[in-house]
Amino acid sequence: MRLYVLEAPIEQESQVLEYAASIAPEEKYARIERNRNAQIRVTMAAGEILLSYALQDAFGFEADSNRRTRLPGGKPALCTEDYHFNISHSGSFVFVGVDTAPLGVDIQYHKTIDDGLVKRVLDETELAVCRETDEPVSFFFSCWTKKESILKWHGIGLTGSLKTPPILPENVSVFEIAAPENHSAAACGSSEPVLLTVSLEQIFHTRLQRS
């Protein structure tokens, strides 16, 4: 399971959108363009760019729009069962995972949490730990990202339970991933994760070399 993390600062919006326009499915790009929040536009667009980079890096091909589809539960996928991807973004960071088997990834920046949210997401054991720890926010988002990655592996999103996510097959595990400061990240899949931090400069340079 190859994981890629990328920071997409808002200052690079025009470059990022221009590149994303050339590779993203039309419907996806239209959605990006109409979002009124500049940071969300940039990270959504960067997600398309990072996915393209990741597939090329890991498997030697790009996910052009003809190769993209959605599974019955709405999970974005490639038009082949041989390769799989998952994307997550939070704040200015994008997190993409690619593998030859289904996977789920999640990244989340640490924002303020309240008791209602904590009680909704954590089970009793986790709640007890959260109340005792010196870093409850960090602990909460560690739990959140792990549970989200499981639901995304299953491709069921919030139709699944956060408090008690569905059981995973024996060969599938959840991995806590080293995340940028004030973020948590996790990945769920059937192979050991390898994490690569990528920069926009690196991706643009690679694009130039290939063209």
Q: Which residues bind other proteins (CB under 8 A)?
A: 31, 35-37, 40, 44, 90, 108, 114, 116-117, 120-121, 144, 148, 151, 157-159, 161-163
Nearer to other proteins, 7 or 33 (CB): 33
Nearer to other proteins, 113 or 168 (CB): 113
CB of 55 to other proteins, least distance (A): 23
CB of 60 to other proteins, least distance (A): 31
Q: What is the DSSP string of 76-127?
A: EEESSSS-EEEEEEETTEEEEEEESS--EEEEEE-----HHHHHHHS-HHHH
Query: Which is it for the CA torsion 166, 169, 170, 175, positive or negative?
Result: negative
CB of 89 to other proteins, least distance (A): 8
**Running DSSP on this structure, what letter comes out for residue 186?**
E
CB of 95 to other proteins, least distance (A): 12
Nearer to other proteins, 117 or 194 (CB): 117
Nearer to other proteins, 63 or 122 (CB): 122
Helices 13-23 and 38-59: angle between axes, nearest 10 degrees = 50
Q: Report the alpha-carbon distance of residue 151 to residue 106 in Å, rounded.
A: 10
